[in-house]
Amino acid sequence: MAGCISLLRKRRSSVLERPGEFELIARHFAPIAGPGGLGLIDDAGLLRPARGYEIVVTADALVAGVHFFPDDPPGSIARKALAVNLSDLAAKGAKPDGFVLALALPKGWTEGWLAAFAAGLKQAADEGACPLIGGDTVSTPGPLTLTITAFGSVPAGRMVLRSGAKRGDVLAVSGTIGDGALGLKAHGPGAPAWVERLSSSDRGFLADRYLHPQPRLGLAAALQAHASAAMDVSDGLVGDLVKLLKASGAGAEVDLDTVPLSEAARAAIMADPALAELAWTGGDDYEILCAVPQGEFPAMAEAAAAAGIALTTIGVVTGAAGSIEYRERGRARSFAAGSFAHF
């Protein structure tokens, strides 16, 4: 009985030792804030865009059990939450200026978890030069939920839209495709048999690509200067290409054999050839898909190389609105489902 009372006291003590909302903010999030956050003691943050610039805004909500596993490392959850927003800004050719965070903490959270989350958030904010400028923290009876709204700036009229692709434009993607979707399988519980046939380094690479997206901010200026249309690949290359072309009123011819794959993804597809479709449609890549006029593409490719980012051509934009012709090994290929969808 005494042991039970002692345990109960420990539980009560741990709850009482949790910081209150304002102390929580001061302890874990104020150190991340930039000047626009005003010390996180006011009701709002402040952004001052330079003369002749416009603000680009993007938001993403992440829910435990939907966008990440509840037992994922808290630092990884934070890094991914900010990275997916920075990826959107990069695709628009925007320079990050700051972000706000709405964090709904479930029952049972600990200050150790929160400290690790804040450390991961600071790492992503420092790497992206995107400081915290405000937000909100609440409790929830449901799963951990976090929403980030990020702000960036571009010269007036220069944001890169989805809707600008023109006939004859080169279609290209950054980095490698499929790692995130394959990494989800490699990282998650109940891994399929093909995962066991991968080397530990390949499994680790794929899992890391799923846990820690790499926003291609180094491409932002080049996209602004040379691309006619762009978006980030979050829901799958095939499905996101449909979105870009629909917005542009255009079609495309795509050579699937040229879609860039990492060595780890190639190893997975060698273990199970059916995984090629998952790589093309599965999502969580956070690479950049862009349409670039042929005359501009050499300069775009040179800028990408200078930024240390691979850029690979995968096809060409056509004038046949809504028509996409995929070729694999010289044969026509179609897809029943092109991307991840929430609804």
* Full DSSP string of 62-119: EEBTTTB-TTS-HHHHHHHHHHHHHHHHHHTTPEEEEEEEEEEEETT--HHHHHHHHH
Q: Is 240 annotated as a binding residue?
A: no
Q: Is 68 annotated as a binding residue?
A: no
Q: Is 257 annotated as a binding residue?
A: no
- Cα–Cα distance measured from residue 128 to residue 80, given in angstroms and rounded to the nearest whole number: 12
Both tokens assigned to 226: 């040379």
Going by their DSSP bridges, the two strands 324-328 and 251-255 should be labelled as parallel
Q: Is 295 annotated as a binding residue?
A: no
Q: Is 67 annotated as a binding residue?
A: yes
Q: Is 323 annotated as a binding residue?
A: no
DSSP state of 182: H
Q: Is 202 annotated as a binding residue?
A: no
- b/e per residue 142-169 (b: at least 16 CB within 10 A): eebbbbbbbbbbbeeeebbbbebbeeeb
- Cα–Cα distance measured from residue 151 to residue 149, given in angstroms and rounded to the nearest whole number: 7
Q: Is 88 annotated as a binding residue?
A: yes
Question: Residue 335 is which amino acid?
Answer: F
Tell me the three state secondary structure of residue 297: helix
How far, rounded to the nearest angstrom, does the alpha carbon of residue 163 sit from its chain's CA centroid?
21
Both tokens assigned to 329: 């090994």
Q: Is 43 annotated as a binding residue?
A: yes
Residue numbers in the known binding site for Mg(2+) are: 43, 58, 60, 88, 136, 232, 235
Residue numbers in the known binding site for substrate are: 67, 284, 340
Residue numbers in the known binding site are: 43, 58, 60, 67, 88, 135-136, 162, 232, 234-235, 284, 340
